[in-house]
């Protein structure tokens, strides 16, 4: 049987931030946070919009500059107000809960949008991986529990569960 291989595409987590599927804080329906300008989180003074087509709630903000013409970024899972927060199970700008998230292996598996979910799936499905991922790519930054081969089945099931949210 042919083994599936995953070719690194050198995709950074940041490259999936053009669209966040989130849970509307007002009605719990699935909704979106999108960038109206440059989708890069590093570009300041970009307009970001939240809109829920179910209840009509909408919100807009402009990202701030750090004085060096870059956005102020915070990495990790601790939310900080007024800055761009990358790395938790919420959108970077408003901090709304991601729609695509589910408990898995005592952690939370999450994805920003459908393309991100597909990317994770391809990674986890692969039985052989390139041994030296680009150090900033999504796969190199993935937590160990997702990369662990013993969790592969459980992670794939969780991904499938999230895929079914589109059905």
Site for Zn ion in 27-46 (CB under 5 A): 27, 29
Q: How far is the CB of 30 from Zn ion (least distance, A)?
A: 9
Shortest distance, CB of residue 23 to Zn ion, whole angstroms? 9
Phi/psi at 147 (5° precision): -75, -20
The piece of 25-33, 59-67, 88-96, 153-161 that touches Zn ion (CB under 5 A) is 25-33
Tokens of 65: 């500059």
Q: Which of residues 75-134 bind Zn ion (CB under 5 A)?
A: none
Contacts of residue 39, Cβ cutoff 8 Å, sequence gap at least 6? 17, 18
Site string for Zn ion, 128-167 (x = CB under 5 A): ----------------------------------------
Question: CB-based burial of residue 50 (10 Å sphere; 0-12 exposed, 13-18 middle, 19+ buried)?
Answer: buried
Report, in Å, the least distance between residue 19 CB and Zn ion.
17
Tokens of 38: 């440059």
Please give the structure tokens belonging to residue 4.
Answer: 């599936």
Residues 6+ apart with CB under 8 A from 109: 101, 102, 103, 120, 146, 155, 158, 159, 162
The residue count for binding Zn ion (CB under 5 A) is 8
Question: Alpha helices, DSSP H only, in 51-151?
Answer: 114-125, 138-141, 144-147
Contact between 26 and Zn ion per CB under 5 A: yes
CB-wise, 36 or 55, nearer to Zn ion? Answer: 55
Residues of span 50-79 touching Zn ion by CB under 5 A? 52, 54-55, 57
Q: Closer to Zn ion at the Cβ: 31 or 63? A: 31
Binding footprint of Zn ion on the chain (CB under 5 A): 24, 26-27, 29, 52, 54-55, 57
């Amino acid at each position: 049987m042919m083994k599936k291989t995953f070719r690194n595409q050198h995709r950074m987590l940041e490259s999936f931030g053009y669209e966040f599927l989130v849970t509307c804080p007002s009605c719990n329906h699935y909704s979106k946070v999108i960038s109206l300008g440059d989708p890069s989180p590093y570009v300041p003074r970009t307009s970001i919009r939240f809109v829920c087509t179910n209840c009509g709630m909408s919100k807009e903000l402009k990202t701030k500059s750090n004085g060096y013409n870059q956005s102020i970024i915070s990495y990790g899972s601790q939310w900080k107000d007024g800055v761009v927060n990358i790395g938790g199970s919420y959108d970077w700008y408003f901090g709304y809960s991601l729609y695509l998230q589910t408990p898995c292996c005592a952690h939370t598996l999450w994805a920003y949008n459908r393309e991100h979910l597909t990317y994770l799936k391809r990674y986890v499905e692969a039985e052989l991986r390139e041994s030296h991922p680009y150090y900033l790519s999504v796969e190199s930054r993935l937590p160990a529990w997702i990369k662990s081969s013993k969790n592969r089945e459980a992670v794939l099931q969780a991904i499938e569960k999230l895929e079914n949210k589109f059905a």
